[in-house]
Amino acid sequence: MEIAKANDCVILQSSTSEVYGDPLVHPQTEDYYGNVNPIGIRSCYDEGKRCAESLCMDYHRQFGVKLKIIRIFNTYGPRMAVEDGRVVSNFITQALKGQSISIYGDGRQTRSFQYIDDLIEAIIRFTNTPKDITGPVNIGNPNETTIQELARQIVKLTSSCSPIIRKPLPENDPRRRLPDISLATSILDGWTPKVELANGLQATIKYFREILYRQL
């Protein structure tokens, strides 16, 4: 923020849907303050994102720093790290290796999965909006998918025989996560995600298959 202030340049803060915590409002709109446990096991990440947004807005208000804040919902695609611990990469890696696919809880918790190309398009459009548009703005896919459905779809697309097993649900794990992207659509010239989940997963699986093959 100090560098942006000194050089009079625009700064893009990539926040995430974690600012909403385990939301009590569904779908989540930008004016919702969230439901976050400040001392829970997820609080370091959740509150870190919230703190970052707060600092950015302080610099914008006090020093006139040109600011854009996006709240990114679950994004996936080629070039994800194999061991990054996120649900899409976990499931694909487990399926391709023939390992058990681990679902935490009953698998009925939901997420929205956005393909990387759609995110990049939204970021480019948002950075080109007038300077008085600061956000925050939700960038995500408005289609809701259960974790159980995601696991089954990945097993099918990889032609895997991996069994799906259940493990205890971590504390404060969000039960539902879905963006309201009305604001994004209105300020980004009608932007909406275009890549269907099945198509995006196929491209991601192809990438992971190549990476894992090289590791043999």
Catalytic residue numbers read 45
Q: Which two three-digit tokens encode residue 159? A: 């032609």
Bridge partners (DSSP) listed for residue 71 = 15, 138
Cβ–Cβ < 8 Å for 145, 79: no
Beta-strand runs (E) in the chain: 11-16, 67-72, 75-76, 101-104, 110-111, 114-115, 137-139, 145-146, 164-167
Q: At what angle do helices 147-158 and 87-97 cross, to 10 degrees?
A: 40
